[in-house]
Structure 1
Amino acid sequence: MDQRISFVTLAVGDVARTHAFYVGGLGWVPSTYVEGEVLMIQVGPRLMLSLWDRAAFEAEVGPIASGDGVPPITLAHNVATREEVDGILLRAEEIGAGPLSGGQERDWGGYTGYFADPDGYRWEIAYNPGPIGEVVLP
């Protein structure tokens, strides 16, 4: 098996609301959109983000564990400067992103902040100086 990931699939409560957030709000371009079922967005050369209706997800994959707190996953979007981190966090807030953690200097030398999409998935917006940052930026 090759060392790679082709899809990241997240179960969402309302595909139309998710489309409004990612496409209408963030300005991302959908690769596939089936109203009420799935939104797929190419997020890398060989990587798709699949935002799939929760009921359809459960029917195929199995019951989703739920409870209080944050979903146990974060997605990260790296940028080249601290200013870009702040700009994206501001845009996310403008389009109604959930709980927001403003940009903060981190002990490891980076600068990051978080926002939540309509289903509570946390997005880390990060400036990561050094070799790892160079690997993940286009």
Structure 2
Amino acid sequence: MDQRISFLTLAVRDLAESRKFYLDGLGWEPCTDVPGNVLMFEVGDKLILSLWDVDAFTEEVGQAPGGGVPPITIAHNLATPDGVDRVLEQARVAGAAQVTDAVQRDWGGYSGYFVDPDGFRWEICHNPSELGQKVLP
């Protein structure tokens, strides 16, 4: 797995309030804006900050063992679905605490997750959209 982060996702309780803060308050311009679901911002070279409605986040990621889902994922975007499967297997072999197999997602991509030793969830994904291509090396 390359040493890089493609997407940083934060689960937010009130997306409308987050939208007001980032767009109206800070003057940020979203690269993706799906009201009630997600806001995404280009925050660096090949790095996207995603603010995702906490209910949608929990529906896809699931509940964390022993309590709520940690309200963050770190995403590693790859050029192909096969690449996703290879990295998930690499994480499994490396001893990831939990690995979920990748599946085709409603948003058009293919992704699965693993949990690192500190409980942070990594999404390993193939995002075929123009935005997904933008964060590839």
Q: TM-score, normalised by structure 1?
A: 0.52
1:118 aligned onto 2:117: yes
Q: TM-score, normalised by structure 2?
A: 0.52
Contact 2:46 2:134 in 1 (8 A): no
Q: Distance in 2 between matches of 1:46 and 1:77?
A: 11
Q: Distance in 1 between matches of 2:107 and 2:3?
A: 30
Q: Distance in 2 between matches of 1:69 and 1:96?
A: 22
Alignment match, 1:92: 91
Alignment match, 1:106: 105
Q: Which has the higher contact order (CA 8 A, sep 6+)?
A: 2
Q: After TM superposition, give the deviation of residue 70 of structure 1 in Å.
A: 2.6
AA at the equivalent of 1:97: A
Larger Rg: 1
Q: Distance in 2 between matches of 1:127 and 1:86?
A: 10
Unpaired runs of 5+ residues, structure 2, are: 5-43, 48-65
Q: Distance in 2 between matches of 1:137 and 1:28?
A: 12
Deviation string, structure 1 residues 55-112 (Cα, Å, up to 9, x no partner): xxxxxxxxxxxx7233110000000000000000000000110121101001121100
Contact 1:70 1:120 in 2 (8 A): no
How many residues are aligned here? 80
Q: Distance in 2 between matches of 1:78 and 1:27?
A: 10
Q: Distance in 2 between matches of 1:99 and 1:125?
A: 13
Identity across the alignment (%): 54
SS of 1:129's equivalent in the other structure is: coil
Q: Displaced runs of 4+ in structure 1, greater than 3 A?
A: 26-29, 44-47
SS of 1:69's equivalent in the other structure is: coil
AA at the equivalent of 1:94: V
- Describe the shift of the 1:68–1:28 C-alpha distance in structure 2 as closer, same or farther (beyond 3 A): same
Unpaired runs of 5+ residues, structure 1, are: 1-25, 30-43, 48-66
Contact 1:115 1:124 in 2 (8 A): yes
Q: Distance in 1 between matches of 2:46 and 2:129?
A: 24
